[in-house]
Amino acid sequence: MSETAQRETHGFQTEVGKLLHLVTHSLYSNKEIFLRELVSNAADAADKLRFKALSDNDLYENDGELRVRISADKDAGTLTISDNGIGMTRDQVIEHLGTIAKSGTSEFFNQLSGDESKDSQLIGQFGVGFYSAFIVADRVTVRSRAAGFGADAGVQWESAGEGDFTVEDINKTDRGTDIILHLRDEEKEFLDDWRLRQIVNKYSDHISIAVEMWKEEVPEQDGPDGEKIAAVPASWDKVNTAKALWTREKSDISDDEYGEFYRHISHDFEAPMTWSHNRVEGTHDYTSLLFIPKRAPFDMWNRESKHGLKLYVQRVFIMDDAEQFMPTYLRFVKGVLDSNDLPLNVSRELLQDSKVTDAMRKACTKRVLQMLEKLAKKDADKYQEFWKEFGNVLKEGPAEDAANKEKIAGLLRFASTENDTAEQTVALADYIERMKEGQDKIYYVVADSFNSAKSSPHLEVFRKKGVEVLLMSERVDEWLISHLNEFDGKQLVSVTRGALDLGDLEDDADKEAQKALEESSEGLVERIKTSLGEAVKEVRVTHRLTNSPACIVVDEHDMSSQMVKLMKAAGQPVPEQKFILEVNPEHDLVKQMDALQAEDTFAEWSQLLLDQATLAEQGTLDDPASFVARVNKLLLNQG
Ligand SMILES: Nc1ncnc2c1ncn2[C@@H]1O[C@H](COP(=O)(O)OP(=O)(O)OP(=O)(O)O)[C@@H](O)[C@H]1O
């Protein structure tokens, strides 16, 4: 086949075009990372070949020493990163170097603001990979030949990073991929041997294959005592440690090395928040290295997004995103698992029902929870940063992982009436420590927004007595709380549900007064009940209000109004909801109402009371126009 057969020009996918624009305009402050990204890809290509060769050893073509080589040509102004990994076919080149395969990519690009410094942060979370070549190059040539194909199956890809690229068939005898960067004039520093070695040491030391650079011959020399020191011939020289990082002793690995390794496996630009590295021997034999990122990935809430650990068996890479080892509520965890128990030919299906998988999943889950506990204990500020990014994911935990419910509950943070701010900083343990004498329950309210939780009339009696209430207003909170009934032996109780039981928080005098009020208000309650009829489940004298005239309460076993809203939003059928109306006979408005003679006016007032209470609780009414009309009518009557 001729050298330039089948030359075609293709346009980049729109998102690639946007990414390239950002890469060349925003990533200037840290140009050298392009080498890390390309070496990282080369190492991945070696991993993939090793995995495929497990079932087809011929793929090695008698060249099983996998490595990446970096060479600079000062005359041509080019830097070449060359690997003997899996390589790419023509179709793969077009697909992998012309499109972005990640789910949620177009949503991600829609989020970008146009502010280059902000966007460069986001782009770091997204990962630029191969396209980072264009930070320093104004033209990139890729020559590749996939393992298992003949030399004539080579392909050359070329682009100036502006809108399109060309592909053509070439002859390439050696397997793998060469990335040739035609450096911009101002980036010629990346041709310097010392500079390149420094970058490899900084970013790629942990890469498990050898990263080699050409070392010129060292001529024969005279030693200090006149003896001859033999010449060292020119050769490829290994510049990194080339040992899988997780197989090394913890004490020999620096934080920077862990950080770089994390960047390699996660494609994150930032350092991790914390990590845990463990070798386990005994019934099961494996090593895990688990990282908590600093920032949530752009696609954390995308259902199809990939997550999970990188799985190795006896140091051989098996698969990315092995989600079997992490529960969904810990989907933000990145890391590596290297098992000595699983067979090398393990597949996703085999992992699904394997006892070894189960045991490792349990242990890894525990490790992550311990790591978070430790972080919370040692560095509360850092834990708070973690909570801001991942708290809402962790809140899925109690529903998903009953076995670790208590541990997860200990890691949760809430807003509360203690400081009345929306910041979620209160741990259940803090709450318990502050509990009043005689208090044996943890009280909470769930509402649509922080403000409506904070101003809920149901809190009045708690505020009066100085009893703390947790304020919940995230979408996931109702789901969380329906799976979390107690913590540390203390029941979690909604302040908007059922009869209020303050237990020993009330003294005998309180109880007597309440009873007396209930008795003296029997007539009033009966009258309201009659006028509201079927609109309510029950009417009773409140226990919880001090400043408001009335509130609505959900019956003990009925669905909460938040849950009803969630289910309605999800298109699920929900039963008609009726509330209990609690009235405060000591409120002036209710007193005034009690004194009304005309039954029809009294009925209007009762309806108004119910509407008000519903509005305060739910933020909406079924028939707001009638409510407004009723208010106006009653206001005019007052006049
Ligand atoms: N040296 C290489 N050898 C073989 N395939 C490669 C090589 N470099 C890139 N690829 C292919 O191109 C794809 C895209 O690479 P790119 O670096 O853009 O993304 P990535 O590595 O998948 O993820 P990220 O963008 O997060 O770094 C890779 O997934 C891989 O299939």
What CATH number is given to the structural domain containing 287? 3.30.230.80
Atom 11 of ligand 1, residue of closest alpha carbon: 96
> pLDDT tens for residues 3-30?
457 899 999 998 898 889 888 877 777 8
Q: Does residue 254 share a domain with residue 203?
A: no
Classify the complex by whether its ipTM is higher than 0.90, answering yes or no.
yes
Flag whether 562 is in a domain. Answer: no
Q: Does residue 261 share a domain with residue 189?
A: no
105 lines ligand 1 (CB under 6 A): no
CA atoms in the 13 A half-sphere facing the CB of 251: 0
Last residue of a domain, one of 238, 272, 299: 238
pTM summary value: 0.81
Measured in degrees and rounded to the nearest 5, phi and psi for residue 106 equal: -70, -35
> pLDDT tens for residues 61-101?
999 999 999 999 999 999 999 999 999 999 999 999 999 87
Q: Which of 162, 111, 156, 118 is nearest to 138 (CA)?
A: 162
Q: Does residue 367 share a domain with residue 423?
A: no
pLDDT at 638: 66
**Is residue 364 a contact partner of residue 290, using CB atoms and an 8 Å limit?**
yes
Based on the structure, what is the number of domains in the chain? 4
Atom 20 of ligand 1, residue of closest alpha carbon: 129
Give the angle subtended at the CA of 511 by the CAs of 507 and 512, to the nearest 5°. 115
Between the CA of 96 and the centroid of ligand 1 the distance, in Å, is 7
Atom 19 of ligand 1, residue of closest alpha carbon: 129
Atom 7 of ligand 1, residue of closest alpha carbon: 41
Flag whether 559 is in a domain. Answer: no
Cα dihedral 493/494/500/505 (nearest 10)? 50
45 lines ligand 1 (CB under 6 A): yes
> pLDDT tens for residues 31-41?
998 999 999 99
The answer to whether 630 is annotated as binding is no
Q: Does residue 418 share a domain with residue 326?
A: no
The answer to whether 41 is annotated as binding is yes
Atom 17 of ligand 1, residue of closest alpha carbon: 129
CATH code, 535: 1.20.120.790
Q: Report percent pLDDT > 90 for the chain.
A: 65
126 CA: nearest ligand 1 atom: 26
337 lines ligand 1 (CB under 6 A): no
> pLDDT tens for residues 250-271?
999 999 999 999 998 998 888 9
pLDDT at 392: 95
Best mutation site among 40, 82, 96, 100 for ligand 1 pocket (most ligand atoms within 8 Å of CB): 96
The answer to whether 26 is annotated as binding is no
Q: Does residue 257 share a domain with residue 186?
A: no
Flag whether 225 is in a domain. Answer: no
Provide Rg for the chain, Cα atoms: 33
Flag whether 227 is in a domain. Answer: no
Q: Does residue 265 share a domain with residue 191?
A: no
Q: Does residue 619 share a domain with residue 475?
A: no
Last residue of a domain, one of 238, 270, 304: 238
Q: Does residue 439 share a domain with residue 311?
A: no
88 lines ligand 1 (CB under 6 A): yes
The answer to whether 360 is annotated as binding is no
Q: Does residue 199 share a domain with residue 159?
A: yes
Between the CA of 129 and the centroid of ligand 1 the distance, in Å, is 6
List all residues 6 or more positions away from 155 whose beta carbon is below 8 Å from its beta carbon: 88, 89, 90, 93, 143, 144, 145, 167, 168, 169, 170
Last residue of a domain, one of 208, 238, 268: 238
Flag whether 577 is in a domain. Answer: yes
Q: Does residue 186 share a domain with residue 57?
A: yes
86 lines ligand 1 (CB under 6 A): yes
Between the CA of 569 and the centroid of ligand 1 the distance, in Å, is 39
Considering only residues 253 and 638, tell me which one the structure prediction assigns the higher pLDDT: 253
* pLDDT exceeds cutoff 50 at 2: no
266 lines ligand 1 (CB under 6 A): no
CATH code, 128: 3.30.565.10
Flag whether 295 is in a domain. Answer: yes
Task: Give the mean pLDDT of the chain.
Answer: 91
Flag whether 567 is in a domain. Answer: no
Q: Does residue 184 share a domain with residue 126?
A: yes
Flag whether 511 is in a domain. Answer: no
Place 1 in a pLDDT band, splitting at 50, 70 and 90: very low
Domain hosting 373: range is 245-387
41 lines ligand 1 (CB under 6 A): yes
CATH code, 427: 3.40.50.11260
364: its two tokens: 């890894």
Q: Does residue 117 share a domain with residue 20?
A: yes
**Is residue 71 a contact partner of residue 213, using CB atoms and an 8 Å limit?**
yes
87 CA: nearest ligand 1 atom: 4
